[in-house]
Amino acid sequence: MQRVERRVVVTGIGLVTPLGIGTQQTWEAAIAGKSGVGPITRFDAKDLPCRIAGEVKGFEPANFMDKKEARRNDLFIQLGLAATQLALHDAALPTDKPLGDRCGVIVGSGMGGLATLEDTHLTAVNKGHRRVNPFFIPSIIVNLVGGQISIRYGAAGVNYAPVSACATGNHAIGESMRHIQHGDADMVITGGAEATITLLGISGFTAARALSERNDAPEKASRPFDKDRDGFVAGEGAGILVVEELEHARKRDARIYCELTGYSATADAFHITQPSGTGAERAMRLVLEDAGLRPEQVQYINAHGTSTPVGDIAETKAMKAVFGDWAKKGLMVSSTKSMTGHLLGAAGGVEGAFTALALYHGIIPPTINLDNPDPQCDLDYVPNHAREVRIESALSNSFGFGGTNAVIAFRRMRD
């Protein structure tokens, strides 16, 4: 029997980002064009070429969990739990009873519990194996952010964790959409969480020559599509969405931000760190097909836009190839990484939330620090100031190391 695909909507958003703790604080900072990037305080970075990052400021685990739970979980899990609590509250869902077996959890991370891994390795080397915490493994493995969410809220449906570098969050959202469309779930908690601002993490990305070294002006360091960009800025945080089948949401009179209408996933099959652009192009073409959209029906793209010299040009070329004349005539593009830095596995969750909020509020967040546009990046990137404009359809792009690509299509809720 042929399945009838069900409609999927976003009903809850939870954000913990370098711009703030909570969706309202983060969104207000984003549309104000504020930067969340500053000097690294998480560890002593004075000897590193890159000494800046987008840290979450003022995060207190005790506001979201007891001390014992906090001690047992790496920061990436803590951030994911916090963002989930915020998302469920935003969705007006009860948290005092199990969400049940029709509610799933698909939340990923690019690198998992890196800080705990570093600290525990030192403990084992310097103090012996008997001093290793028995919660070490559950604290570092990627699927335990979703596992802890499931346990806490009694979400007994589908539960797994995509791990696809910087495309993780989008893969999580897209797979959640598919599970609901196909009738496997009525609701899924989805997105990503990441916390890799550690000595090893920053050292590794620095060794790969991926990070900006604009240490004297951290708030200006993340500058996607700008001629003077010199690499991305590492960020941390979590972006969680509650996505539901439309009638399920309507029955409980939920507030609906927007509808999810398309998902695509491709590979460059080219290089571990350098994008070819062809995979991104195919992903955007496929998501338009999946969503039933013509190119000129898309008004906004939340770009991957990492602020790397090669990546921004490749993405721009891919958008021009897919959208043709419309790319310059009517398409608005912005990179919110200019404000948050690059949240790696959490990027898709946060940027999916920004895209949903842009549709709901009729405001496009800006690309800040776009002061000297790269001639090869010649689209409308909504430079430096948010733009009030009602849009109907939008895409969110995420492209990761290894050449993995995922794109989500969103539509303003109309009926």
Q: At 238, which helix (H) or strand (E)?
A: strand 237-245
Query: Do the beta carbons of residue 341 and residue 36 sit within 8 Å?
Result: yes
**DSSP-assigned states of every residue in 154-188:** TB-S-EE----GGGHHHHHHHHHHHHHHTTS-SEE
Of 171, 179, 248, 304, the catalytic one is 304
In this structure, the dihedral spanned by the alpha carbons of residues 110, 381, 299 and 314, taken in order and rounded to 10 degrees, is -60
Query: Do the beta carbons of residue 114 and residue 200 sit within 8 Å?
Result: yes
Q: Is 166 a catalytic residue?
A: yes
What are the tokens at 263? 């998902």
In residues, how long is the chain? Answer: 415
Beta bridge partners of 13: 241
Query: Do the beta carbons of residue 102 and residue 187 sit within 8 Å?
Result: yes
Of 50, 103, 166, 377, the catalytic one is 166
Instruction: Quote the CA–CA distance of 331 and 363 in Å, as a whole number.
Output: 14
Q: Is 342 a catalytic residue?
A: yes
Query: Do the beta carbons of residue 143 and residue 161 sit within 8 Å?
Result: yes
Instruction: Quote the CA–CA distance of 184 and 188 in Å, as a whole number.
Output: 10
Residue 344: DSSP 8-state: G
Instruction: Quote the CA–CA distance of 310 and 198 in Å, as a whole number.
Output: 25
Beta bridge partners of 262: 409
Provide CB contacts within 8 A for 345, sequence distance 6+: 108, 109, 110, 111, 163, 164, 165, 166, 168, 169, 192, 193, 194
Q: Which residues are catalytic?
A: 166, 304, 342
